[in-house]
Amino acid sequence: MVDLTNEDTALSDYRGKRLRDFYDSQGALLVDAFLAANLVGGTPTARPEDLEVHPTTKEVFIAYTDGTPGSDGYPDSRIFQVGKFSAAANATQQSGGLYKIMENSANGRSNSFRWERFAQGGEQGAVLGAGFANVDNLAFDNFENVWGVTDMSTSRHNGFRTGPDPEERTIDHAQTGNADALVGVFGNNWLFYIPTSGPDAGAVIPFGYGPVRCEMTGPTFVGDTLIIAVQHPGEDVPIGDGTQLNRDIEMLNLNGRVFNQTRRVPRGSNWPSNIEGDADGPPLPTVIGIKRQGSTGGDSFL
């Protein structure tokens, strides 16, 4: 039997009410923010992981790791890419994105704002694809570049599942709907930046890859040093023992056409033991600082 009830009939007790009719303090509202937002008809979004405010324009940049519908709701498909809607190999992919909010006033007190998609996740050969998947944490440097790290599931890295004998994930660019297996065309999680002004504004500029099966997180600039954490290197696979994984993987070239790349990657990790003199040591989470070679200790990383 089809349920024909809707909010107008089933939730009549909520019509004409304000949040203060249900919450007696700001703290209670914030603790219950998800349900409170639904109560007032807030826009269902994709999976927000981090937000940062542009130092000059005051635009709010939000990292949405994925737009795939899940058990906790369905993003508004008028705003977010929630699936691959066409069997065309180069159709837009749904692997998250970087969005921004612009308030309709300059003093930060506006009651209205506008959305804008700044960079869409997906292969660069896909329509709108910026060349990354599952962007997570963000940071601004003192040149107003926005930095991002990715949080692709380690069970998808390089098109392999995890475990001692990782299976190959099927990569099919003709797949439609929830085509999140396409994230498997990417390698390790990595770090990039995007200029927000100047001749390269909007371009995704790669900076570095993380160790095998890790997530890099929490990029922070302190003077001339980029501090970043390397989480769970070698997750859910044996300690690095030299075992290599080999496969051909279907990818898009920059013209949006499919080609097969032969890929050879380590199964496990020894980070950071391998850079500390123990080539066979265990992988460990770490916090590292990165400086420009020849830096004299100023206040600029770049």
pLDDT per position as a tens digit, 74-100 = 788 889 999 999 999 999 999 999 999
More confident residue, 222 or 105: 222
In order of 83, 173, 301, the CA distances from 185 in angstroms are 17, 10, 31
Please provide the average confidence, as pLDDT, over all residues in the chain: 91
Residue 7 lies in a domain: no
Residues 107-112, mean pLDDT to the nearest whole number: 80
Label residue 11 by pLDDT band (50, 70, 90): low
* Position 251 confidence tier, pLDDT thresholds 50, 70, 90: very high
Q: How many domains does the chain have?
A: 1
In this prediction, residues 102-125 reach a mean pLDDT of 89
Q: Is residue 183 part of a domain?
A: yes
**β-strands 215-222, 225-231 pairing:** antiparallel
Measure the CA–CA gap between 51 and 139, rounded to whole angstroms. Answer: 9
Largest CA distance in the chain: 72
Residue 106 belongs to some domain of the structure: yes
Q: How confident is the model at residue 294 (pLDDT cuts 50, 70, 90)?
A: confident
pTM metric for this prediction: 0.89
pLDDT band for position 213 (cuts 50, 70, 90): very high
Rounded Cα gap, residues 247 and 166, in angstroms: 11
Mean pLDDT of the 273-296 span: 92
Give domain status of residue 4, yes or no. Answer: no
CA distances, 230 to each of 92, 152, 188, 255, 302 (Å): 30, 14, 12, 33, 21
| pLDDT at residue 236 tops 80 | yes
* pLDDT at residue 9, rounded to an integer: 57
**CA separation for the pair 273, 282 (Å, rounded):** 6
Q: How confident is the model at residue 1 (pLDDT cuts 50, 70, 90)?
A: very low
Higher pLDDT, residue 292 or 13: 292
DSSP string, 139-201: EE-TT-EEEEEE---TTTGGGB--SSSPPBPP--TT--BS-GGGGGGS-S-EEEEEESSSTTT
Q: What is the mean pLDDT of residues 127-138?
A: 96
* Residue 10 falls inside a structural domain: no
Split at pLDDT 50, 70, 90, the class of 121 is very high
Q: How confident is the model at residue 111 (pLDDT cuts 50, 70, 90)?
A: confident
Does the pLDDT of residue 5 top 70, yes or no?
no
Identify the pLDDT of residue 293.
86
Query: Is 244 within a domain?
Result: yes
157 is in which domain, residue-wise? 18-291
The residue with greater pLDDT, 282 or 300, is 282
Residue 174: pLDDT above 60? yes
What contacts 101, CB < 8 A, 6 or more positions away?
Answer: 59, 60, 62, 113, 114, 115, 116
Structural contact between residues 101 and 112, judged by C-beta atoms closer than 8 angstroms: no
Tell me whether residue 243 is in a domain. Answer: yes
**So what's the pLDDT on residue 70?**
74
- For 22-67, how does the pLDDT look when each residue is reduced to its tens digit (9 = 90+)? 899 999 999 998 888 888 888 888 889 999 999 999 999 999 998 8
Residue 56, domain member (yes or no): yes
